[in-house]
């Protein structure tokens, strides 16, 4: 290894170490919120994110901030993780809309987002099917439309609409059975 290559490698390591220190908490929080508070999943995805960033560091072109670039990697790693989780469960979605009725009194967006409620929501999300959890996160945290979610999942809009309705119903059922959470606030 020539002296110039060695110097460049040292600078690369220093730059990455600095960026890691500056961005770690933000990336961790970003993923933690999107895994419904699943620490193990968050830690795995954060590790995969920084590993992928290190390997692709030469391709970082400063068109965005390093933190934004990391979050785009993290978002892709999160999607990969949910896809793998969904495939592992081999859960088949039925396109039978007749078994699901819209629950008009339940509005996930209206929940008061304080620490106690977030913990209850996270616990409930962790108890439902990964596909349902992923669809709810895409819809209500990432503010994606049903059409965008359908594209992401490679499903029809009608299918995603049905999944979303079943996800809401499953979430409400789990959430309403939880102890220690005041379920009547914000309704």
Q: What residues does each domain of the chain span?
A: 3-89, 97-177
| Residues in Cβ contact with 14 at an 8 Å cutoff, skipping those fewer than 6 apart | none
CATH 1.10.357.10 fits 3-89, yes or no: no
* Tokens at 72, concatenated: 């785009």
Listed residue (81, 118, 112, 109) closest to 168, CA to CA: 109
Q: Cα(134)–Cα(58) distance, rounded to whole angstroms?
A: 32
Region 94-115 average pLDDT: 39
90 conformational bin, left if phi > 0, alpha if psi -120 to 50, beta if neither:
left
Q: Comparing 5-14, 29-38, 138-147, 153-162, which segment has the lowest mean pLDDT?
A: 5-14
Give the separation between CA 91 and CA 131, rounded to whole angstroms.
8
- pLDDT higher than threshold 80 for residue 60: yes
Q: In CATH, what number does 97-177 get?
A: 1.10.10.10
Whether 25 has a pLDDT exceeding 50, the answer reads: yes
Q: 127 vs 37, 111, 117, 121, 144, CA distance in Å? A: 12, 18, 16, 10, 22
Q: Can you give the pLDDT at residue 181? A: 66
């Amino acid at each position: 290894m020539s002296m110039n290559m060695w110097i460049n490698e040292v600078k690369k390591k220093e730059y990455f170490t600095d960026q890691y220190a500056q961005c770690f908490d933000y990336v961790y929080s970003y993923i933690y919120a999107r895994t419904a508070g699943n620490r193990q999943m968050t830690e795995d995805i954060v590790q995969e994110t920084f590993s992928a960033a290190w390997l692709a560091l030469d391709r970082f072109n400063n068109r965005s901030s390093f933190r934004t670039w990391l979050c785009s990697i993290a978002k892709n790693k999160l999607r990969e993780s949910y896809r793998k989780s969904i495939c592992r469960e081999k859960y088949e979605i039925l396109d039978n809309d007749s078994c699901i009725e819209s629950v008009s009194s339940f509005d996930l967006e209206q929940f008061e987002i304080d620490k106690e409620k977030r913990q209850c929501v996270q616990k409930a999300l962790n108890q439902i099917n990964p596909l349902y959890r992923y669809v709810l996160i895409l819809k209500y945290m990432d503010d994606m439309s049903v059409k965008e979610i359908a594209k992401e999942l490679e499903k029809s809009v009608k299918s995603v609409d049905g999944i979303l309705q079943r996800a809401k119903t499953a979430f409400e059922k789990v959430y309403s059975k939880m102890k220690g959470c005041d379920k009547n606030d914000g309704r």
